[in-house]
Structure 1
Amino acid sequence: MTQLAAALALAAAGPISTAAATAGPQMLPLWPEGVPGAKPELGPNRVDEDGRTTNITEPTLTVYPAAVDRANGTAVIICPGGGYVRQSTRREGEQYAHWLGTLGVTSFVLTYRQQEFSHPAPLQDVLRAVRLVRSQAARFNVRPDRIGVMGSSAGGHLAASAGTLFDHPLGRTGAQLDAVSARPDFLMLMYPVIAMDGPAVHAGSRKALLGAAPKAAEVQLMSMERQVTPQTPPTLLVHTQEDASVPVENSILFYQALTRNKVPAEMYLFEHGAHGMGMRDGLGTASQWPRRAEEWLKARGLLDPAR
């Protein structure tokens, strides 16, 4: 079986049926032909009782179909946060997928490689996810021109990487699927890590991704505010002043870069709400961010019925 045939093997079954959709989420291997630079000696992925995933050696996509009778053809690939050390799969993955499903959006929670592999493995995983969903759009009942990437914290950095480095050579592995466009059609960034140096840096994410002594060229490349171009997709940013882990300046830097490059962008900066707030109530106006995000998706036509 060729690499492309392996990657597309699941598509042979045709569109996901209503029965399959109601049976619960489906987990798909991201690299059915073999994980690039595989490290089988590390053992399998681990999930703790709080729904956090670590030791990721087998990247996956878990499919959450849109709510019955609401599907509008929009897809979102969700990258949970966790500093490139762990992933908050339940709070910043599954929870968002269920919410997006009520809006008619089909979601794909990405379990991506992190500190065990470091750069550029996470970039390869998120771009592979976009290519895989786009190549199998008919099977998932989504439109190939309505595929977004959403990320929180370090997952926001990964989502921003997809929106800026979608055509970078480091995001390719030599698979035939590399021929499919990896550019997301929109981004949704929740309290994202953006800067890799300076006062706004999240040092833990940088160390996990680039090592304790990263090269200057790697810091430059993975500083997302420096990689924005007019081709970066429309972006929604959500952050809070109270974020003591990832300074709000990260979102501001990215928004400024988007504005300089005339990329459509909308940013909500709230007073209250700690880092990793998810969808909790009791955070003042910050608890209303899902409504603001829904309005943004609607204004961009991403909740309109598929044609």
Structure 2
Amino acid sequence: MDGLLVENEMLLWTGTPPGSEQLELKQQVLDRSTDSTIKNRAVMGVSAPSITPFFPEQGTGNGAAVLIAPGGAYERLAFDKEGIDIARWFNSIGVAAFVLKYRLPAEGHRNSHCVPLQDAQRALRLIRSNAERWSLHPDKIGCIGFSAGGHLTATLGTRYTEPVYAPMDEVDLIDARPNFLILGYPAIVPGNTEAKPNFAPLHRYPGDQQVDANTPPAFLFHAHDDWVSSEHSIRFYSALKQAGVEAELHIFRAGGHGFGIRGAEGAVAMWTNLCEEWLQATGITPGRMSLTHEQQPL
């Protein structure tokens, strides 16, 4: 499949993205669906990185927004399960969402370790530059990521000033710091991973070693039985706590890896409720109006 993945996809860059010059790369979309009513696509061959906007129903938005980085071991992007599904949930709580289709480090781009970060910085800046147009609060724009996308989220939250590309236009003069981070079963450090090209960002940007007092507040969740050890989340949380950054961590007994929303069963399915509560407690989203005694349902 060539070209745009969905109708309202917005390309991040005017012209060729930095580091992808003279690269001939054809987008591939692998449909892994087992149910014809539920899409489960994996995207590879990304040469035209983009964001796909999802907005709450008219009159229900609260001005907050989130950039979504799907996972996929930096080899592919779980575009539906860890992208569109997540966007629709955020819309249900009044938050605008933007699914990021970012370039992958093992596909021939120059300076492959930083192309995901280039795209994430540019995407955050692009969203913030359109805040007035999209009725967003420019100081309530965060990032959520899953697995490798969780690593990218942590990297954006700690390396938002990293000069990984030369400014191309006025958008690149805008602050790329997210106002909050949400990390789902992230890979934070390389651990025992081999030095394969797709793991280059993990080796270059071990997330727990980059945290400082200016790192945005973070919400993390992981399963104890995940093959990507919950130690990754623990290490990032510990670094946040040491730096004095507001943070919340949940480790669930079971859930495995890559559950997102559609695969979350049992207690791990509570992560969305806990995340919504955290967003309210930190002032990113407004709290729900409590009912008076007379208004309580019978």
Q: Report TM bin, short chain.
A: 0.7 to 0.9
Contact 1:26 1:64 in 2 (8 A): no
- Which structure carries more helix by proportion? 1
Aligned letter for 1:295?
A: E
> Matches of residues 196-215 of structure 1 in structure 2 within 5 Å?
196-197=190-191, 201=192, 203=193, 207-210=197-200
Q: Over the residues paired in the alignment, what is the CA RMSD in angstroms?
A: 2.0
Scaled by the length of structure 2, the TM-score of the pair is: 0.85
Distance 2:264 2:7 in 1: 29
| Aligned partner of 2:188 among 175, 194, 199 | 194
Distance 2:264 2:214 in 1: 37
Contact 1:45 1:56 in 2 (8 A): yes
Contact 2:67 2:100 in 1 (8 A): yes
Q: What is the aligned partner in structure 1 of residue 131 from structure 2?
A: 137
Q: Does 1:249 align with 2:208?
A: no
Q: Does 1:174 align with 2:167?
A: yes
Aligned letter for 1:257?
A: A
1:216-246 per-position Cα deviation (integer Å, ceiling 9, x unaligned): xx83x410000000000000001011101x1
1:59-110 per-position Cα deviation (integer Å, ceiling 9, x unaligned): 0100001223210000100000001100000000000000000100000000
Q: What is the aligned partner in structure 1 of residue 257 from structure 2?
A: 275
The CA deviation at 1:205 is: 8.7
Q: Does 1:29 align with 2:11?
A: yes
Distance 1:205 1:111 in 2: 24
The CA deviation at 1:174 is: 2.6
| Aligned partner of 1:224 among 191, 207, 224 | 207
The CA deviation at 1:42 is: 3.1
1:142-172 per-position Cα deviation (integer Å, ceiling 9, x unaligned): 11101100000000000000000001122x3
The CA deviation at 1:125 is: 0.4
Distance 1:93 1:144 in 2: 22
The CA deviation at 1:136 is: 1.1
Aligned letter for 2:65?
A: A
Q: What is the aligned partner in structure 2 of residue 11 from structure 1?
A: none
SS in structure 2 opposite 1:98?
Answer: helix
Distance 2:195 2:176 in 1: 24
The CA deviation at 1:123 is: 0.6
**5+ residue gaps, structure 1:** 1-23, 212-217
Distance 1:267 1:257 in 2: 12
TM-aligned CA distance change 1:208 to 1:289, over 3 Å: same
Q: What is the aligned partner in structure 2 of residue 7 from structure 1?
A: none
The CA deviation at 1:206 is: 6.1
SS in structure 1 opposite 2:190?
Answer: coil
> Matches of residues 8-47 of structure 1 in structure 2 within 5 Å?
26-39=8-21, 41-47=23-29
Q: Does 1:290 align with 2:284?
A: no
Contact 1:45 1:54 in 2 (8 A): yes
Contact 1:189 1:236 in 2 (8 A): yes
Give % identity.
Answer: 38
Contact 2:150 2:186 in 1 (8 A): yes
Q: What is the aligned partner in structure 2 of residue 161 from structure 1?
A: 155
The CA deviation at 1:32 is: 2.1
Distance 2:264 2:115 in 1: 37
Scaled by the length of structure 1, the TM-score of the pair is: 0.83
* Equivalent pairs, count: 269
Contact 2:167 2:173 in 1 (8 A): no
Distance 1:257 1:41 in 2: 38
